[in-house]
Structure 1
């Protein structure tokens, strides 16, 4: 393969020639964006337009040589002659500084290589911060959801936006606005949990943060968000990636759509990604009712819609709803998809298709306008390059690392604390740190927090899988390994077991040669056996859970003296866990999911219809292990004195509900005060209850505070028999409490 090497001199020469050209209206940054777009579009050839509707991955030939110079494959050189909508992940495996330099060179080349100097979008993703080398690693989205702190999420994603822009990125295919309710699904941790309201608050703040409250886009400090996967993707049948999605129209409107609607209307997301799947039999990538009717006609979305990986082409060869690749391309275009991600057998056919049917070009123009508009909003026509001097100073800064730990400390959930096992004292004792989720630096992190008076011994013991990235296999753990670990626990005063799952037991099941979903949700391998044998020693056992999907932790819940649930924390996660274990900070996380006893209970989210809770199952205890919103504290919180400003609400009025929260414990702590509403009688069957508000409150020992929530008519709306949003007169119960199960209640009435 031949490669092109660009020198700084050649780039400078090319840019000098380009600069001598007279500016055209679309290059005039003082003109309104729409005028600039309307000036540029008619100048472009059909082939140039279609190029602005395609994104390719940098792994087909964008890299730097041993001296850091841009190196392009012949394939990439050919693609860039006409320009391109964007490139996914250029420079993802090199340092932020090296990536910034590479992406500046790449952008210069792209601008010069196409006739109109149209820059490209460089695109990343964000699951643990920017998914690229050398950036701050934050906890995963579902971890941050456990914080129940939207302002904190905003600050985290603000850093994500800044760090991504500094390495030369412009958009991220994140956050996920999906509702995840099936823990068999391997991508569960990429979203914000099972609840519509919680997910909406987190998604809105993630988008506002990563986009710099929108102002950061044009200022060149932040990147654009692409909320995904529209719609229903988190609820594939059987939890199996690429399976069908069947969600009732009422549930779609009332529970699945709201995070996306808020992403568009409130957070002003620049992009939306369509769902891999179908929706009640209609492939999402070929669904004009969804991508145009709902998204644009109802919600007035004016950004671009991007396909998921190769999914327009898959309308033909996978979904089998199109007769040919060309028919699939037309179906995606008609539905409203503006950018084709990766495929060589979809929108690539559009120029030839226009020759046969010229009317198609109007839809192409529509999509290209959206892409060009996005690039202008981001300021790429006017300031397409990164200030290299800022990169090393501002990426992965001390402040960002401190924020990562702050987010950890607010997200860790204390599920159980029998006999006040936690916090541990920093005293003369020997503690065993063991289990398959133990990291190499866990012992050092604990030693730095506990000090010299506490002795630690550490032994990972065994791996859960062979760590095959495609289809991992479970490993057998022999008895000798277990007995060795039990021996270490016997020598110790306390044992902390690091259990759960990792990136190999819960992951994305890519289209080809990969599995990531599970048929059961019990902890894999010898984890329960290890716990039982250590517990039999009669010494305190603390379990730290690390995982990326909800697990049915029956044995852990029964046998452990204390359980801390960390999901997937930041790069400082072990230090954060140690700070909580030794009482430097009280845990304040709340579970963003219902924790079931068995996969057989699914679906099992707390907000199911009331009638779903009528029956339990034979031979299993009724209810979840832990309810949605559950999380204990080192403080002790009591709720009382719930009052309403008025016992009646109307379609044009609001009422306030208040309760007194008191910390009767001995430690300063934070509590997430949750408000749930229940419609007692409805014209359609209604949820058992729905979260409609929460506040995180910090109280010192003995301190009390009145916590108030405003109840609005909007909170009481639902989709009625005629599939229209309605308000119905009747009685409602409001609960304020510590979880979806425990709280104090009062009633009010809606009168019309």
Structure 2
């Protein structure tokens, strides 16, 4: 271990005199009794320019942060050089180690960092979360879009609470998640990373995810949780053509009314510690060089106090990709002036700042602005006072039994029953004694998962048959399927009483398209390969066909929808996903998930989401049935629910009053089940064209057979506000339709007026 480098007293004196601060207190920032702001202001003047810039940079552990066979630090020369001045943070240190080894390793890494920069400034260790903490040995949950299907914000809060705890126990401090983007184009490979197409649903999910991962903010300073970085600000999910890095064209009105609200709530309500800027431009202005967005909206309007981090290398890309900056230096200045505080990974951006300040000393004020925000985050997280993990707590805290049970619970609430012809489901294990489990999405443990639910009462005939792609992560290729393989699968299905087909898409058919040599977006959204053929051939046997749809993007499943007797849409579930699916199939639990997106019949219908403007629905397409294949908010149950007695407390609302709405929901089925009661509002006449309807509230309830419950919602003036003809938020007098029901297409309705 290197000895800590200590400047001679004379050198320290010369250093401070050069800043005109020879009387400064060099230890005040260590006083934990002071406020965060006081400690930041005590530390900032101590830093040299190079040290300040180091607090504005994050590098990835893959450049040389490793553990040797004994778990000791193995740092490359490049990393050692970077750490001489301290660092804002490191991405994914110890990600391939189990939780205990990662905690030990990250303690050693943090100790080295603290002891090898002059002021003992700790680093932020950063992770991401798409299926739980993206690291070895943590609980694997369903993806965000999957959990959105639960329509259960409190459940999402509990899941992300576990994420925050497990990440902190590994020695992590920040999470480049969750995504507050709206995803409305299923061509986009990153669709499943976000929470769906709807502004209100996404807002509820994002705020609950952030509050969960941050321990309701209180967990940050206690050292029990990590900070969230909501992303990608703003409009990233709306890339033209659904291709990553493409241009983004969104009207200012749509930005304000639909795209911004989840981010605004992330800042104001959930108190997200960080925001990540968007890869893309926004109506021609590159997001990383957009001061109106990153400072004007984010800070001046919303009073955001945290830090803004670039997406990977995106400040440098203002020059060589976006081509809005003549030189790397110009790109660097654009990012700094716009309000990007931390440069993620790049060597051609904020690394240039020390030399740039020599020519333009005024830049140091902007550097100070950013460094304040980074140091503030580290103090909020308590890293100066408690930088290390207590190893004895890790084993009992990561993959705890309660966390694994929560993953199963989340699965069960997220599975969507799309079709159930003639009550095919649930299966009766006394009648269906031989079941075929077939298809490219069958896993090695699928049969074992099913057997864990039904024991040895059923004989399973299992065959994966074929893969969809060659599994090459950068640019996967589709594989041809030998017809003999399909023949073998059909032969197995012929022996069975029921066929369960696992089809859809895998992690290679929908994924992030990285900047260099990686493709993840699609030009079509039909199921790939021989999947439709498999469904049709098994269906031709005349036996019940159940489809388990696994996927990370919306698919136009026309053939599957036509052929299957029952369809369970499972998206991308937890590590216990097939077990949870089996519990649904055999009726242990009634499905209660609802679609967080609209399912189109064809890619030609895009853009296509339920809350489009009413005028978008005027005309359909030649030779295509009108409407979606399945609407937003849709999902069946093993029970049936009757909606009645829709009541409204007043048929008029004012800018200072509220209306109470109630509806009676009765379980008219034979099993206990959950139902998502949804409230939509439609503005009949506006000064600008208005959405066909907008989700404004929902409530997930559970009812026993024959049980009724009155569900109550409030209609507030804020629900009716929108950006009017003068580009100002407004309330407009007039008529509104209020709809309460089981989906965006099936509901009871009434009307009310807004009077000013």
TM class by shorter chain equals over 0.9
Q: Give the alignment partner of residue 34 of structure 1, picking from 34, 37, 44.
A: 37
Q: What secondary structure sits across from 2:571 in the alignment?
A: coil
Q: Distance in 2 between matches of 1:479 and 1:114?
A: 64
Helix, strand or coil: the match of 1:566?
Answer: strand
Query: Secondary structure at the residue paired with 1:708?
Result: strand
Q: Which residue of 2 aligns with 1:665?
A: 669
Match of 2:579 among 572, 575, 580: 575
Q: State yes or no: 1:487 paired with 2:491.
A: yes
Structure 1 segment 320-359 matched on structure 2, within 5 A? 320-359=323-362
1:693-724 C-alpha deviation (Å, 9 max, x unpaired): 00000000000000010000000000001100
Candidates 553, 567, 570, aligned match of 1:566? 570
Q: Is the 8 A contact 1:627 1:740 kept in 2?
A: yes
CA positional deviation for 1:478 = 1.1
Q: Which residue of 1 aligns with 2:544?
A: 540
Does 2:81 align with 1:78?
yes
Task: Kindly report which structure 2 residues correspond to 1:494-509, keeping only aligned pairs within 5 A, or say none.
Answer: 494-509=498-513
C-alpha root-mean-square deviation of aligned residues, in Å? Answer: 1.2
Q: Does 2:695 correspond to 1:687?
A: no
Instruction: Report what 1:294 is aligned to.
Output: 297
Which residue of 2 is the match for residue 697 of structure 1? 701
CA distance in 1, matches of 2:754, 2:257: 19
Would the aligned equivalents of 1:172 and 1:226 in 2 still touch at CA under 8 Å? yes
Is the Cα–Cα contact under 8 Å of residues 5 and 116 in structure 2 kept in the other structure? no
Q: Are positions 1:627 and 2:631 aligned together?
A: yes
Which deviations, in whole Å up to 9, do the C-alpha atoms of 1:89-142 show, x marking residues without a partner? 000011111110010000000001100000000000000000000000000000
- Partner residue, 2:167: 164
Q: What is the aligned partner in structure 2 of residue 252 from structure 1? A: 255
Aligned equivalents of 1:68 and 1:286: distance in 2? 41
1:521 alignment partner in structure 2: 525
Contact residue 5 and residue 118 of structure 2 kept, 8 A: no
Instruction: Specify the alignment match of 2:372 in structure 1.
Output: 369
8 Å Cα contact 1:552-1:596 kept in structure 2: yes
Structure 1 Cα separation of the partners of residues 382 and 679 of structure 2: 42
Q: After TM superposition, list the pairs within 5 Å mapping 1:113-128 onto structure 2.
A: 113-128=116-131
Instruction: Identify the residue that residue 197 of structure 1 maps to in structure 2.
Output: 200
Within 5 A, what are the aligned runs for 1:689-728? 689-728=693-732
**Secondary structure of 1:496 counterpart:** strand
Show CA shifts across 1:398-438 (max 9, x none). Answer: 11000000000000000000000000012251000000000
User: Partners of 1:95 and 1:452 in 2: how far apart?
Assistant: 34
Matches within 5 A, 1:225-244: 225-244=228-247
- 1:109 aligned partner: 112
Q: TM-score, normalised by structure 2?
A: 0.97
Q: Deviations over 1:272-297 (max 9, x none)?
A: 00000000000000000000000000
Report Cα offsets for 1:327-356 as digits up to 9, x if no partner.
000000000000000000000000000000
Q: How far is 1:450 from its partner?
A: 1.4
Report how far residue 490 of structure 1 moved.
0.4
Deviation at 1:448, TM superposition (A): 1.3
| Larger displacement relative to structure 2 (157-166 or 32-41) | 32-41
Q: Which residue of 1 aligns with 2:651?
A: 647
Name the counterpart of 1:218.
Answer: 221
State how many pairs are aligned: 739
2: CA distance between counterparts of 1:402 and 1:700? 23
The secondary structure found in structure 2 opposite 1:439 is coil
Question: Are the aligned partners of 2:26 and 2:46 in contact in 1 as well (CA < 8 Å)?
Answer: no
Which of 731, 738, 743 matches 1:734? 738
Distance 1:299 1:253 in 2: 13
How far does residue 14 in structure 1 lie from its aligned partner after superposition? 9.0
Hey, what's the Cα distance between the residues in 2 that align with 1:726 and 1:654?
17
- What is residue 3 of structure 1 aligned with on the other side? none
Pairing partner for 2:680 from 676, 681, 697? 676
**Structure 1 residue ranges without an equivalent (≥5):** 1-5
Within a 5 Å distance, the mapping from 1:351-500 to structure 2 comes to: 351-427=354-430, 429-500=433-504
Work out the CA distance in 2 between the residues paired with 1:390 and 1:640.
52
Distance 2:576 2:50 in 1: 49
